Amino acid sequence: MALGACELLPGVGTIDEPALIIFYEDTTRVVVPDTVTRGVPFTVSFMTFGGGCTREVARTDVRRDGNLLEIRPYNRRQKADGGVCTADLLFLEHRVAEQFDQAGGRVRQIRRQEDTR
């Protein structure tokens, strides 16, 4: 089992932070219907990158501006005094159920965070 150093912040707990959808040269695949029926729910799903101290999805915020959707995924990272975390890579699935009540709606963007270390 490989271990890596976790962030050295005082205290034990968690922090929700913007999820990674780009990790080095890898990007996530967003699954969304190309056409939806007005008033009928549909699902947007995609994976974010986790691992180490980041082990779970925290939430996925959706901002609606008329018929445009902006999606912001967040993952939860553990913090611990001098703790260690595994040196692994996880794929954390985010799912959002939405619907458009007017014709012409679209998913504008999924706000991203990237790691290019």
Listing DSSP states for 14-77 in one string gives EEEEEPBSEETTEE---B--SS--TTS-EEEEEEEEEBTTEEEEEEEEEEEETTEEEEEEEEEE
pLDDT tens digits, 64-86: 887 788 899 999 999 866 778 88
Tally of domains within the chain: 1
Question: Is 71:60 a contact under the CB 8 Å cutoff?
Answer: yes
- Number of residues in the chain: 117
Give the pLDDT score at 108.
64
Query: Residue 47 is part of which domain span?
Result: 3-115
Cβ count within 10 A of residue 5: 12
Global pTM reads: 0.79
For residue 5, pLDDT beyond 80: no
pLDDT tens digits, 88-105: 999 999 999 998 888 877
Give the pLDDT score at 2.
40
